Amino acid sequence: MILLTDTQRDRLLANGRDRDQDHIPVVKFFNPFGAGVWLATELDEDGDIMFGLADIGYPELGSWSLNELRSIRLPFGMGIERDLLFTGDFPISVWAEAAREASSIRDAERLLYRSGRLPGGTRVDTESPRS
């Protein structure tokens, strides 16, 4: 599987040049066989070092190597995969807070989307306005 599309790479590089922002994750990587989820917001100019929220047992903000993710070999010849349906939707600070509260990125994802929570603690109005 291709871990980054050209569009995702361009967005991550642009975010990497503007580090003082609370970026929305561009891409989600995951281990299809167990622990390991990474939400990437930035990519260094070297094209290897990414920044975002990583969870390999406990969620924390930090950096990791894209090349190391690519080199991981899992059972049945598989590797780390990119979540094709991931949209980000929330700044990385919201993801980090929710993941710490839920103890994992996967549980945080379920909670954030189920609750309709938006940045700043607001909620999405899921009912249509009445006339």
User: What does the alpha-carbon distance between residue 31 and residue 92 come to, in Å, rounded to a whole number?
Assistant: 20
Write the pLDDT tens digit of every residue in 51-74.
999 999 999 999 999 999 999 999
| Whole-number Å distance between alpha carbons of 37 and 55 | 5
CA dihedral 54, 57, 60, 64 (to 10 degrees): -40
Residue 114: pLDDT band with limits 50, 70, 90: confident
Q: How far is CA 53 from CA 84, 95, 99, in A?
A: 18, 8, 9
- pLDDT given at position 9: 98
Give the residue from 65, 71, 11, 68 showing the smallest Cα distance to 41. Answer: 11
Task: Determine what percent of the chain falls in helix, strand and coil, rounding each to the nearest 5.
Answer: 35, 20, 45
3-state secondary structure of 44: coil
What strands, in cross-sheet order, belong to the sheet with 49-55?
59-65, 49-55, 37-43, 27-30, 81-82
pLDDT digits (tens, 9 = 90+) for 24-51: 999 999 999 999 999 999 999 999 999 9
**pLDDT at residue 116, rounded to an integer:** 65
Window from 1-15, 92-106, 112-126 with minimum mean pLDDT = 112-126
Query: pTM of the entire structure?
Result: 0.86
Please give the pLDDT value at position 117.
56
